[in-house]
């Protein structure tokens, strides 16, 4: 029986890359918030690689949406074996002085509270069945701080580091593992959403490997942590950052 993997934020970028890489080995529940066409395209490609797919619309910052996503997974697949907790947002480049309450609230509602609610729901199912693997999507911004750019985003991802360690230790004895990936400068659309589409390329000179990473490289590390090859790894954050 193929394991069931839920990926939040699966319509583009790292989430889509994870889905495409996982498709030969997993059946997939693909969550999206607004890009239905993107999610459908990912599902079609995954199906050509052998995956059964379910597309689940929902905003992870909305509790009723999270409940509905998991109800759909329960109904369609009857179980959940793995979660890539990937949905997240970034805002326009700004200093802390220019960040208003609405921006900060939305950042933490999605990147922290939403991620925690998704992991909480997944962990409840996995602990009952006595097995499972969760990978939360963090960022090396958590340790760099992202001054004069995205301090709010960096702070939200630092919360993911702490949450990953805490949840991992709480449920380790149940057979469920929890880890996190911290991508560095990755060539995805997130930079354009922040209003600086060429940001990754401009900053590549600051990376020891002298290049930006790809979503596929992040996906490979993520799938490793999900897999049995990482069976004795929990509570760990893995940087995928070219040495940065």
Residue 181 φ/ψ, nearest 5 degrees? -105, 135
Tokens at residue 196, please?
């600086």
DSSP 91-105: -----GGG--HHHHH
Reply yes or no on whether 32 is catalytic. no
CA distances from 94 to 6, 183, 220 (A): 33, 21, 32
Tokens at residue 4, please?
């069931």
Which of 26, 32, 153, 232 is catalytic? The answer is 153
Tokens at residue 169, please?
């230790």
DSSP 59-124: -TTSHHHHHHHHHHHHHHHS---EEEE----------GGG--HHHHHHHHIIIIIIHHHHHHHHHH
Q: Which residues is 177 bridged to in the sheet?
A: 133
Would you call 225 helix, strand, or coil by DSSP? helix
Cβ atoms 66, 114 nearer than 8 A: yes
CA distances from 5 to 99, 208, 223 (A): 36, 33, 11
Which residues are designated catalytic?
Answer: 153
């Amino acid at each position: 029986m193929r394991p069931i993997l839920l990926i939040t934020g699966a319509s583009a970028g790292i989430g889509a890359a994870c889905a495409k890489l996982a498709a030969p080995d997993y059946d997939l529940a693909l969550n999206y918030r607004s890009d239905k066409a993107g999610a459908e395209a990912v599902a079609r490609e995954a199906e050509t690689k052998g995956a059964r797919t379910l597309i689940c619309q929902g905003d992870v910052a909305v509790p009723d949406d999270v409940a509905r996503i998991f109800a759909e997974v329960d109904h369609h697949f009857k179980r959940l074996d793995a979660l890539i907790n990937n949905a997240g947002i970034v805002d326009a480049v700004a200093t802390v002085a220019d960040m208003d309450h609405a921006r900060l609230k939305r950042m933490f509602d999605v990147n922290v509270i939403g991620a925690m609610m998704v992991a909480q729901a997944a962990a409840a199912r996995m602990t009952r069945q006595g097995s499972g693997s969760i990978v939360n999507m963090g960022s090396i911004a958590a340790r760099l701080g992202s001054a004069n750019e995205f301090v709010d985003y960096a702070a939200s991802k630092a919360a993911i580091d702490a949450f990953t360690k805490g949840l991992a230790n709480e449920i380790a004895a149940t057979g469920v593992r929890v880890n996190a990936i911290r991508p560095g400068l990755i060539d995805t659309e997130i930079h354009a959403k922040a209003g600086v589409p060429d940001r990754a390329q401009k900053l590549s000179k600051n990376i020891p490997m002298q290049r930006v990473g790809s979503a596929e490289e992040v996906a490979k590390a993520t799938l490793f942590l999900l897999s049995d090859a990482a069976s004795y790894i929990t509570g760990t954050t893995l940087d995928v950052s070219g040495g940065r």
